[in-house]
Structure 1
């Protein structure tokens, strides 16, 4: 096939893609057998003429002749050979008597489980929360009535925290396994454009169905997915895994545990620490959510709101480095979405962002985060960052009125260091409720200082970003894990048979990277073990 790079088409003329391909290759319709979009991005630098930029793979008649005729065009060449979607991993020579156990069914756990199941390893996935169908009901009950289920919420349950997000699949890692993840997601019901969009997303509404379909595939391939199975302790003898203890359900024997429990499994982190599993505190970030009218963001990014129906709701990504050394940045930006209550512990307020696939909501929201390091924590043990998170979540709970209402503040008031008494033109999407106040009581002073300066800098870059009625909601603390469970180059802990994996264990930062890390953990098991047929 022939690959065309840098094929630009006006956003208003996207329907003419075939015509553009013909013009580039100087061919007629009957000479083109078919084509596929390999990558699509948006160039919005010229607001008056926003362009789609494509990489297209085209199957043509007389390929050699076409390539020879166009050899001077640097953007037309033979399609390069792609790296294999799936790694070529042979089964190891050590026998497993019991199937491997995976703790957690977030992206790392699900993709680890799917990979192992497809290879005949019959994994057992243990999920403390509920399957996604019941989990959705529990989450919406919390948002509507303020009734938190500590085992079934935005953090815990099938699909992990990403299930109640925008379902972003962007990642900075360059790994051929990313293609495998995208293809598997598409096979299980995700939109086809995730295979080629430069900023792919699934949306929380579609992602829930995808998660359920992956579960069905795992079971169909011989695996088990067990809900309401909360692991409380690892069984370790002479430095080796012998099994896991499950609350109210006893002991499950295994010699392989993939720990993919997500960044909010604090009780399990404590249990691992007490069991002597090597771990360390690590840097993470905390801050607030900001909400703007989506039309405002469209206007800033596109120069008009009229292009949104063609290009989709506009997004943004911003960063700034404070002279004193701390970084500030936007994270998990959700166009046309909502700010969601994401607590997993009683007496705490945690926020996150969520969008449906269509991104049709009135507001845009994003996390505004500031980096914090172990030097900021109270204590020097590996769990200090976890306690640091909890402290500010509890302060936000108090500030909000102790009903899981979130404290909020208008940007104008935040910059002027005065409490908000009422909202302006931007209405909050957070449920079960909000309390206008001053956010300084639920953030470290240095975070508040950096955020104020960052808002001013970002308003210079995106004029109107510091909109006076834009709304800040506290607090966002779960952007990443506050610790890392150590592992070696074989993906294994010093505790033999324990494979820390994914975002919760400190090795990923989103759906894609967590899924890839789960696959790498599965490959590590395959490389050393085969499963006994008994």
Structure 2
């Protein structure tokens, strides 16, 4: 098997269909190697990216794997290499322990950790405070329509975690041999095959509920147990080690049944919004520390404007789809601003999980066909920006900003919004322009600045014109800012050692975004798998 990188295909050879793309790849590969098309016995796309550096000549670039017919004599090419690596796999089965692991949280870290442990024969118990994916989707829809908020099941909490309702973007800046395994697992669970080769893969919030439901089924088929509407209310620690957990299971009538479960291995995959869990850990003496996180707003533009800015005359070509962007800028003040979780053809969503607080996020459906583009426009909050020495000071800052946004919106989870031109001028907005906000609970035009710390506001005001020079129209006066975005990452780290366990509490395995060790679906899922490997090795 050979792998060939840097295969470039012009848009004129493509029409947006998979068959046309594969045929173009085969022709281009044969030309590159100097062989006949019939000599290419098998062909696999390993990476597909868009090269839009020259807007007048947008091309697709591929890395391809192929098997050639015996006797084919490809020409020498420095972009060709022989491949045959051993694929990364889930941990092998081990002897059954005396007490099964308990995994707290069914986001991407918890799901992949539990799946790994189940395939290793350890019969894990996976508990999730929110609902299963189908029921959770109905709860989110009800909140969007009525403003009714379920603090236990919402965009943050439920099977699949926060990533289920934020587009399912799988792009990551990290590298791990586990990434291919994660993608293949998602495809086997119902995700689109193109995530295996797209440079910026995504699943879509309309497809993900079915995908995570299938992953749950796989966990159960391998011997694991999954409980939804089941919240960890206590962590039993004695002599510096975990001894068990107390679980409260919520019935349809709202009543709760508590149960103590003995456990010497607890995987903490609670997500970045489980503030009550952080408070419980502090009470039980588990080592916590502050970490850098980010806050800001959601910014919306017309997707057609973004397409033209990035693709020029090629905008709208069916092989390209809705254009994404990602950038950051470093300012003379020493601070930085950056885009986050950019959702092409997407929607701003209500991501609240506490009564009386407005929090936004973004999502796209699988077709990314919405009128607007949106992304987080964020600036960092550093530990030294926070008062005192409480490890949870960042949580309190998030909460204060969310409550300020709730008040600015007038209640009922309406969000404050402002036009970019007015934000830069420091004046409130009274109405919108070309860009119609997509936030489902509606917006109250005004001033988003009072909802955020002054250093965040100053950083964003300085950054928008700079980013407007990088992406034409980013600083358009009628682009919309909706506040506030506070949950891009955890403000807390549950400190762990090289063995993967809490430095203060043996048997507690902090993983994923909530523990402060990941920053997206792929890195969190990887962290969950690697934690399972270490747990298996420790047995």
Residues 88, 341 of structure 1: CA spacing in aligned structure 2 closer, same or farther, 3 A cutoff? closer
Deviation at 1:378, TM superposition (A): 2.8
Deviation at 1:308, TM superposition (A): 4.2
Contact 2:104–2:126, Cα closer than 8 Å, also in 1: yes
The aligned residue for residue 101 of structure 1 is 102
1:100, 1:193 → 2: CA distance? 34
8 Å CA contact retained: 1:104, 1:260:
yes
Are 1:52 and 2:60 an aligned pair? yes
SS at match of 1:205: coil
- In 1, the alpha carbon distance for the partners of 2:49 and 2:318 equals 16
Q: Which residue does 1:499 correspond to in 2?
A: 509
Tell me if 1:509 matches 2:515: no
Deviation at 1:379, TM superposition (A): 2.5
- Write the distance in 2 (CA, Å) between the matches of 1:331 and 1:29: 42
The verdict on how the C-alpha distance between 1:262 and 1:214 changes in structure 2, with shifts beyond 3 A counting, is same
Residue 138 of structure 1 aligns to a residue whose secondary structure is helix
Query: In the alignment, which residue of structure 2 is the partner of 1:200?
Result: 201
Determine the structure 1 residue equivalent to 2:47.
Answer: 39
The yes-or-no answer on 1:25 pairing with 2:28 is no
Aligned length: 522
Q: CA deviation at 1:355?
A: 0.3
Query: Which whole-Å CA distance do the structure 2 matches of 1:308 and 1:160 have between them?
Result: 34
Deviation by residue 1:179-227 (Cα, 9 ceiling, x = unmatched): 1111111111111111111111111111111000000000111111101
1:359-387 deviation line (CA, Å, top 9, x unaligned): 00000000000001112223211111111
1:7 Cα offset (Å)? 0.7
Partner of 1:133: 134
Question: Residue 295 of structure 2: which of 286, 291, 299 is its match?
Answer: 286
Deviation for aligned residue 1:12? 2.8
CA distance in 2, matches of 1:386, 1:246: 24
- Cα displacement string for residues 26-47 of structure 1 (whole angstroms, at most 9, x for unaligned residues): 2223322111111111101121
The correspondence of residues 172-187 of structure 1 with structure 2, limited to 5 A, is 172-187=173-188
Q: Distance in 1 between matches of 2:89 and 2:343?
A: 31
Q: CA RMSD in A?
A: 1.4
Q: 2:457 aligns with which of 430, 439, 448?
A: 448
Matching residue of 2:17: none
**Compared with structure 1, are the counterparts of its residues 289 and 66 closer, same or farther at alpha carbon in structure 2 (3 Å cutoff)?**
same
2:235–2:242 CA contact under 8 A, matched in 1 = yes
Q: Distance in 2 between matches of 1:127 and 1:340?
A: 22
Aligned to 1:528: 538
Change (3 A) 1:90 1:134: closer
* TM-score, structure 1 as length reference: 0.96
| Residue 482 (1) aligns with residue 485 (2) | no
Kept after mapping to 2: 8 A contact 1:96/1:255: no
Partner of 2:30, secondary structure, is helix
Q: Structure 2 unaligned runs (5+)?
A: 15-19, 249-256
Structure 2 counterparts to residues 60-459 of structure 1, below 5 A: 60-62=68-70, 66-67=73-74, 70-71=75-76, 73-78=77-82, 80-86=83-89, 91=94, 96-247=97-248, 248-304=257-313, 306-459=315-468
1:532 equivalent in structure 2? none
> Do residues 460 (structure 1) and 460 (structure 2) align?
no
- Report the TM-score, using the length of structure 2 for normalisation: 0.95
Q: What is the rounded CA distance, in whole Å, between the counterparts of 1:414 and 1:369 in structure 2? A: 15
- Between 169-178 and 241-250, report the one with greater CA deviation: 241-250
- 2:90–2:116: 8 Å Cα contact kept in structure 1? no
- Following superposition, the deviation at residue 2 of structure 1 comes to 2.0
